[in-house]
Each structure stands twice: as structure tokens, then as C-alpha cells.
Structure 1
Amino acid sequence: MTLRWLSVCAVGLATASATALLAWLVSPVAPGISAVVFGFTALPFGATLGWILFVAPKTVESSYASGESIESHWTSTASSGMATDLVCILGLTLAVISIARAEPPATLLLIGLLLAAFASFTARYAFARRRALSE
């Protein structure tokens, strides 16, 4: 269990470092301050991501409602995870756009959002299916 929590810390620090580096690179005004603020802001979210990846799958039991098929459970799990992914992606994208003071076309942003939604749902569904079938 200690190794899992160390992995959580590593993912949190890696996420915060990557966010700080990105803020440093794209900030036209005061890149050092932007890097510190965004790095510290991303740290709890990175730790949460690490917990989701390393601790939660080993400690949380899946529960199924009566009359629910396993495929519908996989679909609802993938859908709820996709919604969380999209909120994170939208927040990070808006942060980068506002820091860089860029004005990308709305069509490009919407296409990117749809591709991210499709990729997230597909990956989460495949992961849930693989995990259930391998047990």
C-alpha cells in the first residue's frame, strides 16, 4: 500500500511540474509567477488522478444494481468518467488559451472536444471491460 501512495505522490508532482512548465512556456507576461501559481493549483488534482489510478481500483468494490447488465454498468462508468475528463480538458484548455492570449477558431475547439470525448469514452469502456473479463 505504501508503494501505491508513493505512486500517488509521484503522479501529483509530475502533473504539477508539467502544468508549471506549460504555464512557463506559454505565459507572455510573468512566466515565473504563472508557473508557480499553476503548479501549486495543479498539485491536488494530480494527486487525485494518482489516487484514481493506483489506490481506488484496489480498494473500491464495484456494485451492480439488480437487473442491470454488465455492459450497461460499463457504459455508465465510462460515461461518468468521460464527463469528468471533459471538464478537466475544458478547464486546462481554457487556462492555456487565456494565458497564451490566443484566439483559436471555435470549430477547431469543438472538434477537439468531440475527439476527446470519443477517445475518453472508448478508453474507459475498454478498460472496464478488460478489467472485468480478466478477473
Structure 2
Amino acid sequence: MTIKWLLAAAVGLAAAATTAVLAWLVSPVAPGVSAAVFGFIALPFGATLGWILFVAPATADQAYASDESVESHWATAASSGTATDLVTVLGLTLAVVSIARVDPPATVLLTGLLLAAFASFTTRYALARRRALSE
């Protein structure tokens, strides 16, 4: 169990360091302050991600309704996770755009959002399918 907690802490530190480096690279004014602030703010979220990946107990299989197929359950789980991913992508994009003080075209932003949604849903559906079929 100690190894899992160390891995979770490592993910948290890696996420904070990555965020700090990105903030330092894109900040036009006071990159050191931006790196420190964003790295400090990203640390709890990175640690939470590490906890979810390594420490959280495996969830039990959910019972399916009689009229629900396994595939529809995978699609529902994938789409609900995609909503969370899109909120995260939107927040990170807003942070980068505001720090870098750039004004990208709306078409580019919306296309990127759609691509992120497609990639998230496809990945989550494939993972749910793989997990279910490997058991």
C-alpha cells in the first residue's frame, strides 16, 4: 500500500511540475511567479489524480437493468466521464489563453473542443470495454 501512496504522490508532483513549467513558458509577465502559483495550485489536483489512479479501491460491477445492454452501460459511463473531461479541458484552455494573453479564433477553440470530446469518449468507451472483457 505504501508503494501506491508513493506513486500517487509522484503523480501529484509531476502534475504540479508540468503545470509550473507550462505556466513559466507561456507567461509574458513574471514567469517565476506564475510558475510558483500555478504549480502550487495544481498540486492537490495532481495528488487527487494519483489517488484515483493508484490508491482508490476497485469499484464493484454495477447491476444492469433488464432493458439495458452492456454496450449502452459502457456508452453511458463514457459520456458521463467525457463531460468531466470537457470541463477540465475548457478550464485549462481558459487558463492558458488568459495567461498567454492570446486571442485564438473561436473556430479553432470549438474544433479543439470537439476533437477532445471525441477522443475522450472513444478512449473511455474502449477502456470500459477492455476492462469488462478482461475480467
TM-score normalised by length of structure 1: 0.93
CA offsets, 1:12-52, max 9 Å, x none?
A: 11011000000001111111111111011111111122222
Q: Gapped runs of 5+ residues in structure 1? A: none
What is the distance in 2 between the residues matched to 1:17 and 1:111? 28
What is the distance in 1 between the residues matched to 2:86 and 2:71? 22
RMSD between superposed Cα atoms in Å: 1.2
Aligned residues: 134
Distance apart, 1:55 and its partner CA: 2.8
Distance apart, 1:115 and its partner CA: 0.2
User: 1:122 maps to what in 2?
Assistant: 122
What is the distance in 2 between the residues matched to 1:50 and 1:81? 17
What is the distance in 1 between the residues matched to 2:26 and 2:81? 29
TM-score normalised by length of structure 2: 0.93
Establish whether residue 5 from structure 1 lines up as the match of residue 5 from structure 2.
yes
What is the distance in 2 between the residues matched to 1:13 and 1:80? 27
Establish whether residue 59 from structure 1 lines up as the match of residue 44 from structure 2.
no
Establish whether residue 43 from structure 1 lines up as the match of residue 43 from structure 2.
yes
Distance apart, 1:81 and its partner CA: 1.0
Matches within 5 A, 1:18-97: 18-56=18-56, 58-67=57-66, 68-97=68-97
Moved over 4 A (4+): none
| Amino acid across the alignment from 1:131 | R
What is the distance in 2 between the residues matched to 1:77 and 1:5? 27
Distance apart, 1:66 and its partner CA: 2.5
Range that drifts further, 70-79 or 89-98: 70-79
Q: Gapped runs of 5+ residues in structure 2? A: none
Q: What's the % identity of the aligned pairs?
A: 73
